[in-house]
Structure 1
Amino acid sequence: MLDESLLDAPEALAEADRRGLLRGAAEAGARVRTAARHAAEAGIGDLKPDGRPRAVLIAGPGAAATHAADLLGTLAGAGSPVTRLSATGVASVSGALRWELPGWAGSVDLLLIATPDGAEPSLCLLAEQAYRRGCTVAAVAPARTPLADAVDAAHGLFVPMATAPYDQDEPVAASSPGVLWALLTPLLALLDRIGLLTAPPEALEKAADRLDQIAERCGPAVVTYSNPAKTLAAELADALPVIWTEGTSAAPAGRRFAAALAELAGRPALVEELPLALAAHRTLLAGPLAAGADPDDFFRDRVEEPPALHARVVLLRDRPINGLSAAPAARDLALGHDTPISELEPETGGELETLAELIAVTDFAAVYLALASGARS
């Protein structure tokens, strides 16, 4: 059950936020600026790349590395060479992941390692393996970690992760908003330098400004009725989020939202891009999860029963492609099955800005849902 009264009690929210999630969301803009400065100090701006790599391989544990790879691949556009490496298994009952390069990786490829930890032995071995294969290695991780030494030994590029003081003493969830931007920003700067995508310093600064604006609009002191993130969290109480996305930037933002709901709030969610979602989820909206579905006796006593779980569509939109939009058909489908719908559409701006806004609002919403529902790590 969602305690909606908690949403408008900033002090109670702060007390419930033992993982520092609201703090991480509010500091996203500052993390981008710090990470961009670290990237510049590491010498990314001075690199003189000798052509584009054949493949960009990304390795790292947790949701942040997964979403970073997803976002980089999206921003690189059609034919993107960005590939997320999957862990090959569990090395021990402690849960240590094992990473290996594909057999074809070699001197024309680039390995990127992104981790909020930096002490994983397998990632250190991966950097050594890449060096032996002739791959160029770059990594973003906390400073003074074993991975930093391994990348240095592999003659690679190491960028210290933009951490906050409390990160050193508290465990940080992989889906924590600050972690994503701390890992993603240096990688954006690097891939901009080698010509795979467009993310110059001024674009990163605008994205940081947009994140700051959303932090002001969605902060804990802003009441629910004028706070889009709190409103979305309240709307998703006792609902199954069915996330539909439209537009290039909206797709990875929707996938991240679904993952954040699962990791932070313990809530399942479905995600699909429009117009494919219209066919993929039509039967779902007509089934037992539909808002009007109640196969049992209407007059039975429900006082002791938990509320039934019903679908709610969350429509995340970027700019329509070529002026065409499936949003009207999506609304008709949802409302035609008595399914409520929530919509988020960013203000105009560059691709990084609109992406930052969609991610920031949904990050805040996932955090509020986690705190108000009493989710535990």
Structure 2
Amino acid sequence: MATSPLDGAAGVRGNRFFDEALLDNAPALAARDPGGMLRAIASAGAQVREATTLAAETDLSHLADEGRPRAVVVVGAGTAARTGDILATIAGPRCLVPVLTHRSVEVPGWIGAADVVIAVSASGRSPEALAVAEMAGRRGARLVGIGAPGSPLQSVAERYRAPFIPVPRRGAARANMWGLTVPVLMAARALGLVKVNEADLAETAVRLDQDADRCRPTAETFVNISKTLALNMAGSVPVIWGDSPLAAVAAVRYGDMLSANARYPVVTDALGEAGRGRVGLLDGVFGALAASERDIFADPDLDDVTGDPPRLRVVLLCDGGLADENSAAQTTDRRAEVVQDIAARRGIEVDVLTAEGGSALERFASLVAATDFASVYLGLGHGLDPMAVPAVTELKEQLRK
């Protein structure tokens, strides 16, 4: 497919059209990925193993000395905050303690000695993590710090004699999600809130390794689910729905990665919530109306030239569930089937990705791995460097002034 460069350097402005041929050209993919985002994503299994070791080397035993906390608050921003969402869904609805994610420098007035605060920051410099960690320490809350070694967050943790799990930062925080997530889960396990054992972590790491191999740049598109997802998504408005709490968190993660790596606007939600309003998108100007007004003989590569609106592309992330979750799984499966039927009758394409694995953590990993790679391939196909996001850099620089 021909590309049409816009003004500006490739990787900053990129290309309007998607270069389909690039997907099966591994050397060209590497050349367009100078920051090494594909390599960073492929390290997910290694991150799980390294983080498991680092957490095991940190004494977390005293966290349970004061008994069950009133609440667990995971504080951070961006990917760091997502670790709180992951913890909440892995802990599940049967968890006896509320697990909350906090994304602001404003410290909730109720946080006190009865609570546990897990402050997470890949750089160890997040204003959100530092502000809440400092105040939590002053108020006598049990505190855990997770982030870059030698960082300001480590200093805060040490000042309040709180455990700190040092996680080396390698590249963008979003490429190091697993290195931040595992210590959060280990801290929650020390509190008796999640049943994540060494076997679960090892199997999750193996799953991530296997998916990294299946989705590698040298694997051709017809056998590479991530490249197929990227190709299907190109030029569309992505709508990503998860059919369970676990799949919904994976959907939001996919949306985060598409926004950052491919610069695509994305709609994400839990499938249950979508059915209460957002499914109406299928009837809108990017859905059924676009399909009904489209010339069936038109060249889809010329959409930008002809003025035809981009079409919705629905991705359903489905969580098969475990044996003791069959009733819930059947409910969500039925909803997914209905949405596929509604979309098909409106001429809207749907991709379905089903979780695999024996534990909630492994199933989550199976959804995240393929979609992480897909977001990178989509960005590369548009001539963008997924590791470099100029608008984000500019925003941070302006805020420092």
TM-score (normalizing by structure 1):
0.88
Partner Cα distance (2:294, 2:211) in 1 = 43
- After superposition, what is the alpha-carbon deviation per residue over 1:223-250, rounded to whole angstroms, capped at 9, x for unaligned? 0110001100000001111112112321
Partner Cα distance (2:113, 2:297) in 1 = 70
1:16 aligns with 2:32: yes
**Matched residue type, 1:75:** I
Q: Secondary structure at the match of 1:175?
A: helix
Task: Please say if residues 77 and 126 of structure 2, whose CA atoms lie closer than 8 Å, have aligned partners that are also in contact.
Answer: no
Partner Cα distance (1:57, 1:357) in 2 = 26
Residues paired across the two proteins, number: 356
Structure 1 residues 153, 248: CA separation in 2 closer, same or farther (over 3 Å shift)?
same
Structure 1 residues 204, 348: CA separation in 2 closer, same or farther (over 3 Å shift)?
closer
Partner Cα distance (1:355, 1:158) in 2 = 26
Task: Please say if residues 320 and 356 of structure 2, whose CA atoms lie closer than 8 Å, have aligned partners that are also in contact.
Answer: no
1:372 to 381, 386, 389: 381
Partner Cα distance (1:102, 1:82) in 2 = 14
Task: Please say if residues 71 and 252 of structure 1, whose CA atoms lie closer than 8 Å, have aligned partners that are also in contact.
Answer: yes
Task: Report the equivalent of 2:343.
Answer: 334
Task: Report the equivalent of 1:86.
Answer: 103
Structure 1 residues 373, 31: CA separation in 2 closer, same or farther (over 3 Å shift)?
same
Structure 1 residues 122, 360: CA separation in 2 closer, same or farther (over 3 Å shift)?
closer
Task: Report the equivalent of 2:236.
Answer: 239
Task: Please say if residues 69 and 115 of structure 2, whose CA atoms lie closer than 8 Å, have aligned partners that are also in contact.
Answer: yes
Task: Please say if residues 123 and 148 of structure 2, whose CA atoms lie closer than 8 Å, have aligned partners that are also in contact.
Answer: yes
- Structure 1 position 220, deviation (Å): 0.7
1:161 aligns with 2:167: yes
Task: Report the equivalent of 2:55.
Answer: 39
- After superposition, what is the alpha-carbon deviation per residue over 1:95-147, rounded to whole angstroms, capped at 9, x for unaligned? xxxx2421111111111111111134664453332221001110111111122
Partner Cα distance (2:218, 2:144) in 1 = 40
Partner Cα distance (2:297, 2:343) in 1 = 26
- Structure 1 position 283, deviation (Å): 2.8
Q: Secondary structure at the match of 1:313?
A: strand
Q: Structure 1: 5+ residue runs without aligned partners?
A: 88-98
- After superposition, what is the alpha-carbon deviation per residue over 1:136-173, rounded to whole angstroms, capped at 9, x for unaligned? 1101111111221221011101000144xxx3xxxx33
Q: How many percent of aligned residue pairs carry the same amino acid?
A: 36
Task: Please say if residues 238 and 308 of structure 1, whose CA atoms lie closer than 8 Å, have aligned partners that are also in contact.
Answer: no
1:356 aligns with 2:365: yes
Task: Please say if residues 287 and 293 of structure 1, whose CA atoms lie closer than 8 Å, have aligned partners that are also in contact.
Answer: no
- After superposition, what is the alpha-carbon deviation per residue over 1:17-71, rounded to whole angstroms, capped at 9, x for unaligned? 1232101111000001000000011123676543221111122222x11211111
Task: Report the equivalent of 1:261.
Answer: 258
Partner Cα distance (1:38, 1:257) in 2 = 27
Partner Cα distance (1:180, 1:70) in 2 = 12
TM-score (normalizing by structure 2):
0.83
Task: Please say if residues 115 and 140 of structure 1, whose CA atoms lie closer than 8 Å, have aligned partners that are also in contact.
Answer: yes
1:204 to 201, 208, 211: 201
Structure 1 residues 297, 319: CA separation in 2 closer, same or farther (over 3 Å shift)?
closer
Map residues 54-65 of structure 1 onto 2, 5 A cutoff.
54-62=70-78, 64-65=79-80
Map residues 1-377 of structure 1 onto 2, 5 A cutoff.
1-44=17-60, 48-62=64-78, 64-78=79-93, 81-87=98-104, 99-120=105-126, 123-163=129-169, 167=170, 172-176=171-175, 179-290=176-287, 292-293=290-291, 295=293, 304-305=305-306, 308-319=309-320, 321-322=326-327, 323-324=330-331, 325=333, 326-376=335-385, 377=389
Partner Cα distance (2:377, 2:353) in 1 = 16
Partner Cα distance (1:84, 1:358) in 2 = 22
Tell me whether 364-373 or 291-300 shows the greater mean CA deviation.
291-300
Tell me whether 120-129 or 337-346 shows the greater mean CA deviation.
120-129
Partner Cα distance (1:306, 1:13) in 2 = 30
Partner Cα distance (1:242, 1:128) in 2 = 39
**Cα RMSD for the two superposed structures:** 2.3
Task: Please say if residues 316 and 345 of structure 1, whose CA atoms lie closer than 8 Å, have aligned partners that are also in contact.
Answer: yes
Q: Secondary structure at the match of 1:143?
A: coil
Q: Structure 2: 5+ residue runs without aligned partners?
A: 1-16, 390-401
Partner Cα distance (1:363, 1:349) in 2 = 21
Partner Cα distance (1:15, 1:243) in 2 = 29
Structure 1 residues 129, 338: CA separation in 2 closer, same or farther (over 3 Å shift)?
same
Task: Please say if residues 282 and 333 of structure 1, whose CA atoms lie closer than 8 Å, have aligned partners that are also in contact.
Answer: no
**Matched residue type, 2:85:** D
Structure 1 residues 244, 46: CA separation in 2 closer, same or farther (over 3 Å shift)?
same
Task: Please say if residues 63 and 142 of structure 2, whose CA atoms lie closer than 8 Å, have aligned partners that are also in contact.
Answer: no
Partner Cα distance (1:307, 1:15) in 2 = 32
Task: Report the equivalent of 1:94.
Answer: none
